[in-house]
Structure formats: C-alpha cells, structure tokens
Structure 1
Amino acid sequence: MRHLLLPAAALLLTAPAAPAQSTPWQGKQCAVVLTYDDALDADLDRVVPALDSLRLRATFYLIGSSPVVARRLEEWRRAAKRGHELGNHALMHPCDGTRPGRSFVTPDTDLSKYTVTRAVQEIRATNTLLTAIDGRTTRTFAYPCGDRTIAGQDFYAPLKADFVAARGVSSGLPSAAQVDLTNVACYSINGQSAAYMLDLVKQAQQTHTLLVFLFHGVGGGHALNVDAGAHRQLLRYLKAHERDIWVAPLVEVAASVKAQQAAGTPAR
C-alpha cells in the first residue's frame, strides 16, 4: 500500500492552493468614495486639481441654485469629462428648520414647509440642469443636512428610479450586502486629522467594506472644513494603495453594489 500512498501525498503537497475568495469591490480589499458637498469654489480651486494630479475620481454634490455652479459651469463640465460625478444636492438645499442647530435655515429653504411634490420637482429640475452640464442621466443624490422626510413622509421614495443611490450622513462601514442604497453611510469630516482618515481607510481594508467620506471645505471655504494637508495625505495614501483600494465616484460603486445585491452577494 505504501507505494500507492506516496504519490497521493505528493499530489496534495504540490496541488495549487484554492484561490482566495474575491471581494465584491472590483476584486480589491475595499471601496473608498470621496464626496464633496455644496458646489464650493474650493472644489474647483483645490480639490479637483489635487484629484486630477493623482488620477483619482470623486463625487461632487452640486446645489442647483448655487452661484458657483452658474459662474463656473464650464469648469464643472470639464471636471465631469475627466470622470468626476456631478451629483444632485437639490435645487435650494432645503433643510428642516425645526431641528436643533438649524438657525441658518431661511423660510425659503425650510424643508418642513415643503410638500413632497415640491421637493421631488426641485430635485428632478436639478437633474435636468446637471444633464445639461455633463450629458449624463445616471447619478446619485445626497440629502441636504441628511434630512429624509417631510411631515413624516419619505420624499426620496418617489425618486428611487431617478437615482442609483442616495447618500446620507450617518456613519458606518457596510459590506456590499449591507449597503442601504437609499441612505448610504458616510463619515463627515470636519477638522479631523489625516491619521483619523487613514485609520478609517485601513479599517475598510481589513473588513472589506465600503467607506464614504463627506467633505465640505478643503483648506477653507466652508464652516465645515478639513486641512488641505491632511486631505492631501489621504489622497496620496489612496493612490499608493490603488491596487488594494477601489476609489471611484459613488454612482459607479453604488451601481456595482446594486448588481451584487440583486445577485444575492453574501455579506463580508
């Protein structure tokens, strides 16, 4: 029997190892999405050049009525041509003025005084504007101030067919199966260090999850701000680890998640 067992043992020793189970993020460890809200001058002055210099792409959530959109429309168009997503952040950026800390909300932009019909119409009008800028019909939405309801009614429900996904403001690192495409989790950055942001990326790498960053001002330009140097360190890390990290606009990552969920991809 010995002469029969030895070849079998040798075969087991020399057989190739089974391939590691692939992750759902384009075969990489995780996905990281960079999002920038409110259509700021800083986006075009500092963020887009920084991203383009490293060939990284992101999502910029534009407010349809923003003067920075009207005044710098051609620059937004060029950014879209370079692969950045122009996302929908509503026409007037309405927020619920009845909630604490909302003294900045004016009567004209108070979501609590809206109807669902008005909210839907304004968001769809913003889609029309964005299509006129970038020629695209597929994009994502971001809830202004993270508010999702009007008088207890979900105003995004009638808009699900208009978008691939909607980004919220609650934090989390979901697996592909756990991503809520009607309220995608994110980490809002306001003054946190580069070390904090890099730790989040490393957590996403270790857990094979989705990490979405929410930025406003970068190097100034908004009350919510991140230091330009810290932001640059984050981008450089993402570029240096692009073999392991899928960095893409939310519209692309959400489309992949949607397909994976439809196919029944298990949580990881």
Structure 2
Amino acid sequence: MAKSTDSAASSPSTRDALKAVKAAQRERRQQERLRAREDKAGSRTRKKATRKPGIFKQLREVFSMTRAHDPKVVLWMALAFVGVLVLGLVIGLLVGNWITWLLIAIPFGVLAAVVIMNRMAERAAFARIDGRPGAAGAALSTLRRGWIVPEQPVAVSPKTQDAVFRAVGRPGVVLITEGPTNRVRPLVDKERRNMQRFLPNVPIQVVATGHGEGQVELHDLAKTLRRMKKTLTKQEVQAVDKRLASLGASRMPIPKGVDPYRARPDRKAMRGR
C-alpha cells in the first residue's frame, strides 16, 4: 500500500516535469526557426546589396550623368531614333511594305539612340576627370587588345604632379604626357634617352594630352594611338614590354641627397664605440 501511495504521489510531479521539458523544447524550436528566418532575410539583403544593377538601371544612371553634363543628349538621341525610323519608312514605301519596315526600324532606332548616348557619356566621363592627376592613365585604360599599358606612370614630378605614361603596341613605344608641354619636357627627354639605349631600333613617339596647340584631348587619345602606323609584330611587342619591365626592375631606389659612391663608413661604429 505504501508503494502504491508513493507512486501515485510522484506521478503528478513527473507529468509536470515532462510538460516543462516539452515546453522548453517547443520554445527552443521556435527560437531556432526565428533565427533561421533572420539569417535567411539577412542573406537576401546581402545578395541584393552585392547584386550588380540591371542593364536598364545602368542605362538610366549613364543617361542621368550624361544629361547633367550635356543636356543636348536628349535631342541627339531623338534625332537618331527618328532618323532611323524615317529611313525604314522610306525603304518600306519603296518596297511596298512600309508597316513591316517601320516595325523593323524601331529596334534599330533604339540601338542608334543608345550608341549616341554611349558616345556622349564617354565624353562626359572624360570631362569629369579632365585636369586631375592620372586622367591620361584613365584614358589609356580604354585601349583594347594589342596594347600594353602599365597602371602606374613611368615618371612623375613630385612638385608639379606632371606625369608620363607609357603604352607599348604595334606602333612602338608611345610616351603620353600629362601637364604643360614645356614643363613636362625634361621628364619625357630623360625617359626617352633611357629607353633609346636599350631599344635602339624601336620607334619611340610622344603624345601630349591637353587642350593646347599640338595636344590631344582625353576623349581622342585612344583613337590617336590606334591610328598610328604599325611597325612591330605582336611577338616584338611582347619582347619590348619584357625588356622595359626588366629595365624598370633593375632600377634601385636611392634616397635623394645621398651619393652611394661617396658614402663613408662610420669608423667609430666599426671599432665598437
């Protein structure tokens, strides 16, 4: 009788303990689900933040930037679109099926407007960086295949921030200057002399960027280099670039004002004083 009484007394407490354990398990599962939802929402937010903008958003941003620099972009785009439509309409009237040709001309008109916008956007981008240090290097980055352009300039004036960039292609070695012609001439002459000693048979040309007489504007720089006469083969271009790279690596940086050939050892330090 005592055993049955004890078991009966202990059964409610056991049931309460089981209920408490189950409640704790349910609460833990709910917290895990909530944490999983938060992690999933955070991952979606990170993906949206790192996702590249779509093509329409990119076109809208380019159009806004170009319009801020040159409001006439709307007029030129409209003229390009209407011009293509008129051309398609004329062809359709001559053929006798103007509706079909008009429908064909619509996407080509949109394409022509986008091409006009891209051309004017490129000019606007160059206008924004014009006059800043490194603008010529940014313009050289638009060169396509066949040209080897180092990211850093080959010569820089610390005082005036004038710079000389280098491009190696089939026309040979082209030095592109950034700054007033008279002020940057010593940097160009020094760099040309150094290269002529190691590349005696390679043509070395100089192109000055700017808005003065005899200078090339940034948006015409890549076009000017591509129009140069080609004198080297692709294999020779690679060989010239490797030669210039080894020449630049062989230059040891020496602190200004120190002549290593006249440096004298500290004799007191050598004697341990």
Q: TM-score per shorter chain, which class? A: under 0.3
TM-score (norm 2): 0.23
| TM-score for both structures, normalised by structure 1 | 0.23
More strand by share: 1
Structure with more contact order per residue of length (Cα contacts < 8 Å, sep ≥ 6): 1
